[in-house]
């Protein structure tokens, strides 16, 4: 059975790009008698807004989608901590005290996630009690797993290249948000029984890391479907701060959500919006 999910972060309103993503995940499950889940990814500390998950539910209902709610990330911190501990026990994490600015200044390579961490803290001695993030030693992890591959429904078979992203943070410095997106999403997709991870092409690079984590943590390996992104008139990803109305704005203005969902299904985007290819 196909199990898909929509996994919004409650740090901003949903817009058309989210609607497109949710509809793809919903329809891929519905068309095969599968399950479509919604998971709220609310571990972004101070940026998470508690009122937004209810708004997201109203948005999905307005679009005519049916889904099952699964536990939100903030209720799963114990599982993230246990997985991080298991990776530490395997000698695959190292502590890092670098700031974003230090990394940007020291990095010489751009990866899919931004500047590649140059390994500054690998092997450094860090004093007890100092706030640190924990990074995955990707080269060592790949040495242990050997070559890995994964399957994208649109792009086909991919060789996993987590080395392109580099030593990602799995446990954040900030105590409010102990697990990083990579660790939390990978564990949750396994715990929720997701068999087809649908999300935007902007997260294609993240999947190389997720595939590596699945191998290290003995998790089941789903398939992926990275869909094109909706772009605004300037060719940029839609964002409320660049003036794209949110789904809530459209709903409150009396727009017909079901009709909007139908036009997104036919790739008929409202004025000026295009699809990335
Ligand atoms: N929470 C992520 C976001 O809102 C989605 C992550 C995913 O689909 O894997 O961008």
Atom of ligand 1 nearest to the CA of 6: 8
Q: Could you tell me the distance, in angstroms and rounded to a whole number, from the CA of residue 33 to the centre of ligand 1?
A: 24
Q: Could you tell me the distance, in angstroms and rounded to a whole number, from the CA of residue 127 to the centre of ligand 1?
A: 34
In order, the DSSP letters of 71-114 are --GGG-HHHHHHHHHHHHHTT-EEEE---HHHHHHH---EETTE
| Helix, strand, coil shares, percent, the chain, to 5 | 40, 20, 45
- Structure token digits, residue 223: 């398939």
pLDDT digits (tens, 9 = 90+) for 108-134: 899 988 899 999 999 888 888 889 999
**Is 194:11 a contact under the CB 8 Å cutoff?**
no
Q: Could you tell me the distance, in angstroms and rounded to a whole number, from the CA of residue 199 to the centre of ligand 1?
A: 7
Instruction: Judge if the beta carbon of residue 18 lies within 6 A of ligand 1.
Output: no
Query: For residue 108, with 0-12 CB atoms within 10 Å meaning exposed, 13-18 middle and 19 or more buried, which class applies?
Result: exposed
Instruction: Judge if the beta carbon of residue 199 lies within 6 A of ligand 1.
Output: yes
Instruction: Judge if the beta carbon of residue 7 lies within 6 A of ligand 1.
Output: yes
> 48: how many CB neighbours lie within 10 A of its CB?
20
Q: Dihedral sign, CA of 127, 131, 137, 141?
A: positive
pLDDT at 45: 77
Instruction: Judge if the beta carbon of residue 182 lies within 6 A of ligand 1.
Output: no
Nearest to 224 by CA among 243, 206, 248, 247: 206
d(CA 95, CA 83): 16
Instruction: Judge if the beta carbon of residue 203 lies within 6 A of ligand 1.
Output: yes
d(CA 21, CA 5): 10
d(CA 63, CA 14): 12
**In which residue ranges of the chain is pLDDT below 50?**
none
Tell me the three state secondary structure of residue 163: helix
pLDDT at 204: 96
User: What H or E segment, with its residue span, contains residue 142?
Assistant: helix 138-145
For a ligand 1 pocket test, name from 21, 40, 112, 181 the mutation site with the most ligand atoms within 8 angstroms of its C-beta: 181
- Structure token digits, residue 247: 């789904």
- Structure token digits, residue 147: 């070559």
Nearest CA to ligand 1 atom 6: 7
CA atoms lying within 13 Å on the CB side of residue 236: 8
Instruction: Judge if the beta carbon of residue 192 lies within 6 A of ligand 1.
Output: no
pLDDT at 242: 74
pLDDT at 75: 95
Atom of ligand 1 nearest to the CA of 5: 8
d(CA 274, CA 139): 38
Phi, psi at 217, each rounded to 5°: -105, 10
Instruction: Judge if the beta carbon of residue 8 lies within 6 A of ligand 1.
Output: yes
Q: Could you tell me the distance, in angstroms and rounded to a whole number, from the CA of residue 91 to the centre of ligand 1?
A: 28
Q: Could you tell me the distance, in angstroms and rounded to a whole number, from the CA of residue 47 to the centre of ligand 1?
A: 15
Q: Please enumerate in sequence order all residues whose Cβ is within 8 A of that of 57, keeping only pairs 6 or more positions apart, or say none.
A: 38
Q: Read off the pTM.
A: 0.95
In order, the DSSP letters of 169-225 are EEE-SSTTS-B-HHHHHHHHHHHTT-SEEEEEGGGHHHHHHHHHHHHHTT----EEE
pLDDT at 270: 86
């Amino acid at each position: 059975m196909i199990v898909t999910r929509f996994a919004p972060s409650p740090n901003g309103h949903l817009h058309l790009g989210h609607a497109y993503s949710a509809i793809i995940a919903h329809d891929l499950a519905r068309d095969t008698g599968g399950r479509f889940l919604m998971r709220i990814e609310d571990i972004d500390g101070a940026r998470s807004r508690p009122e937004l998950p209810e708004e997201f539910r109203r948005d999905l209902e307005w679009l005519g989608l049916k889904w099952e709610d699964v536990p939100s990330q903030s209720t799963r911190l114990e599982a993230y901590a246990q997985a991080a501990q298991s990776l530490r026990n395997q000698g695959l994490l190292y502590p890092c005290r670098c700031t974003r600015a230090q990394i940007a200044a020291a990095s010489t390579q751009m990866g899919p996630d931004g500047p590649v961490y140059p390994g500054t803290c690998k092997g450094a001695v860090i004093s007890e009690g100092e706030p640190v993030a924990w990074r995955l030693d990707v080269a060592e992890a790949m040495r242990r797993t050997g070559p890995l591959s994964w399957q994208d429904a649109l792009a086909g078979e991919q060789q996993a290249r987590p080395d392109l992203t580099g030593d990602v943070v799995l446990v954040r410095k900030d105590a409010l948000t102990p697990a990083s997106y990579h660790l939390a999403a990978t564990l949750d997709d396994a715990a929720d029984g997701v068999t087809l991870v649908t999300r935007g092409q902007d997260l294609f690079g993240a999947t190389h890391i997720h595939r590596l984590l699945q191998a290290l943590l003995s998790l089941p390996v789903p398939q992926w479907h990275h869909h094109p992104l909706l772009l605004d008139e300037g060719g940029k990803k839609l964002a409320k701060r660049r003036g794209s109305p949110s789904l809530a704005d459209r709903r409150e203005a009396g727009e017909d959500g079901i009709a909007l969902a139908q036009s997104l299904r036919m790739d008929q985007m409202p004025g000026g919006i295009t699809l990335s290819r």
